[in-house]
C-alpha cells in the first residue's frame, strides 16, 4: 500500500501514471504508422498490403492496429495471413512515419510496409488466420494492442478481393500502426 503524507489537514498523495504501451513505444521512437494507398483490384484480380519483418532486422514486430478503408464499387473480402508469400511484386510504401516526430533525428523503421495491386493468384504458405467481409464504403478496423507478434522473416498480410462480384472494379487503402523491439530485449515469461 502506498504511503501518503498529511500536513495541516491537506493530504499529499503520491502521483501515479499508467502509460499505454503505444505511448511508451512512441516516446522511445519505436512506434510507426503508415499506409498503402490507391490499391486497385477487382476484374478477377486482388490487392494486398503487409507489414514485413526482414530476416535480418533483429527486431520483433508488434502489430497494434490495422485499417481497411475507402473500398468502393463492390462488397469485399479481407483475408489476414500470417507469414505467407503474396502473389505479385512487392512495392515498399513511402507513406510511413514515426509516430513521434519530435525526435531528432527521426527514427527509421526496420519493418517494411509493402503492397501490390491487380495481382493474380492467392498467397502461399503461412496461415490464413482470419477473414472479414464488408460492404462498399465500409471501414474495417481493429486494435490488436501488440498481440500479433512476428519475428524476423515474419509478416502480417491483408489480402483484398471481391469474390461476390469478381468482375467489378474496386480500390482502397490499408493502414497499420506498429512498434518494434529488439529481439535481444524480448523476454519470455
pLDDT one-digit tens code per residue, 48-77: 999 999 999 999 999 999 999 988 778 999
Helix%, strand%, coil% for the chain, nearest 5:
5, 50, 45
> 1: pLDDT confidence band, cut at 50, 70 and 90?
very low
Residue 26 parent element (H or E): helix 21-27
Query: In whole angstroms, how far apart are CA 2 and each of 5, 11, 20?
Result: 10, 13, 22
Instruction: Tell me 166's DSSP state.
Output: T
- What are the sequence ranges of the domains in the chain? 18-182
Tens digit of each residue's pLDDT (9 = 90 or more) over 106-149 = 999 999 999 999 999 999 999 999 999 999 889 999 999 999 99
Which pairing describes strands 46-52 and 155-161: parallel, antiparallel, or unpaired? antiparallel
> 187: pLDDT confidence band, cut at 50, 70 and 90?
low
* Prediction pTM value: 0.88
Distance CA 155, CA 174 (A): 15
Query: In whole angstroms, how far apart are CA 135 and each of 36, 151, 182?
Result: 20, 33, 39
Distance CA 165, CA 19 (A): 45
pLDDT of residue 186 exceeding 90, the answer is no
Amino acid at each position: 500500500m502506498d504511503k501518503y503524507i498529511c500536513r495541516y489537514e491537506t493530504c499529499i498523495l503520491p502521483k501515479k501514471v499508467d502509460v499505454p504501451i503505444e505511448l511508451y513505444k512512441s516516446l522511445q521512437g519505436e512506434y510507426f504508422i503508415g499506409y498503402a494507398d490507391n490499391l486497385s483490384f477487382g476484374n478477377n484480380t486482388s490487392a494486398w498490403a503487409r507489414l514485413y519483418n526482414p530476416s535480418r532486422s533483429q527486431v520483433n514486430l508488434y502489430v497494434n492496429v490495422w485499417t481497411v478503408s475507402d473500398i468502393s464499387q463492390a462488397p469485399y473480402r479481407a483475408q489476414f495471413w500470417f507469414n505467407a508469400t503474396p502473389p505479385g511484386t512487392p512495392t515498399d510504401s513511402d507513406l510511413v512515419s514515426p509516430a513521434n516526430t519530435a525526435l531528432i533525428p527521426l527514427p527509421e523503421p526496420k519493418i517494411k510496409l509493402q503492397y501490390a495491386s491487380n495481382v493474380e493468384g492467392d498467397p502461399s504458405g503461412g496461415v490464413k488466420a482470419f477473414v472479414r467481409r464488408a460492404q462498399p464504403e465500409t471501414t474495417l478496423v481493429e486494435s490488436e494492442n501488440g498481440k500479433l507478434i512476428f519475428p524476423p522473416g515474419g509478416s502480417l498480410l491483408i489480402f483484398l478481393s471481391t469474390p461476390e462480384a469478381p468482375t467489378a472494379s474496386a480500390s482502397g487503402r490499408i493502414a497499420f500502426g506498429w512498434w518494434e523491439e529488439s529481439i535481444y530485449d524480448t523476454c519470455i515469461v
